[in-house]
Every structure is written in C-alpha cells, then in structure tokens.
C-alpha cells in the first residue's frame, strides 16, 4: 500500500476526494467534466486512490462509479488528533489572554 501522505500530497487527488465527498458516487466522465482534467489523468489518480484504500469502485453500465471510502482516512485522522488537541489548547489560551486584556466598561452616565 502506498504512503497515504504521499497519495494526499497530489493536489488533483485531493480535488477528486473533495468531489467524491460531495456526492453519492461519480463516474470517471463526471470527474473529468467537473475537474477539467483529462480522462487518462483522472483514471491514473483514481487507481492510486483505490490502491491506497481511499475510494471504492463499482461497475455500472455506463462505466465505473467511484465513491469515497472515508475509513481510508482513519490513519490520517489519528495522526492529526494530537495536533487538534494542541491547537485547541492554544486557542483557549488566546481567548483567555484576549479576555484578560479587554478594557472593562465603566458605569454608564
């Protein structure tokens, strides 16, 4: 299986995943029209995404329908989790700092 971060580093693959996230599944021709990429280029990227476990395909009369396989992103999500915790704590610290430096309103006259 390819390195997931290497797979996701390619901007066209991220665009494909974004398009699939917003749909119930798309044919290659739909992705070609939507993204403005050539059919061979879209097929190449879909093959990489399928090998990485990020998309599934099912045959249909008109071609193959591709769907996002969100479970494939579980490792990336697990890797990002400590960073979410880090940034959440930093944002809370920033909020506390801003609250402590905000001028207090005096009595209205």
Quick one: pLDDT at residue 99? 85
Residue 10 covered by a domain = yes
pLDDT 10s digits, 12-57 = 999 999 999 999 899 999 999 999 999 999 999 999 999 999 999 9
Range of the domain at 66: 4-72
Which residue, among 50, 44, 51, 81, has the nearest Cα to 68 in the 3D structure?
A: 50
Cβ partners under 8 Å of residue 13, min gap 6: 7, 45, 48, 49
Residue 32 covered by a domain = yes
d(CA 65, CA 62): 9
CATH number at residue 12: 1.10.10.10
Residue 78 covered by a domain = no
Residue 108 covered by a domain = no
Residue 23 covered by a domain = yes
- The total domain count for the chain is 1
| pTM of the full structure | 0.75
Which residue, among 66, 75, 26, has the nearest Cα to 48 in the 3D structure?
A: 66
């Amino acid at each position: 299986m390819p390195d997931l971060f290497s797979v996701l580093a390619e901007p066209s693959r991220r665009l494909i995943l974004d398009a699939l996230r917003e749909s119930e599944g798309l044919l290659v021709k739909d992705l070609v029209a939507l993204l403005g990429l050539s059919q061979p280029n879209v097929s190449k990227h879909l093959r990489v995404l399928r090998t990485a476990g990020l998309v599934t395909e099912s045959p249909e009369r008109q071609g193959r329908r591709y769907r996002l396989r969100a479970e494939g992103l579980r490792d990336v999500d697990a890797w990002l989790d400590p960073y979410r915790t880090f940034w959440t704590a930093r944002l809370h610290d920033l909020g506390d700092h801003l609250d402590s430096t905000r001028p207090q309103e005096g009595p209205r006259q």
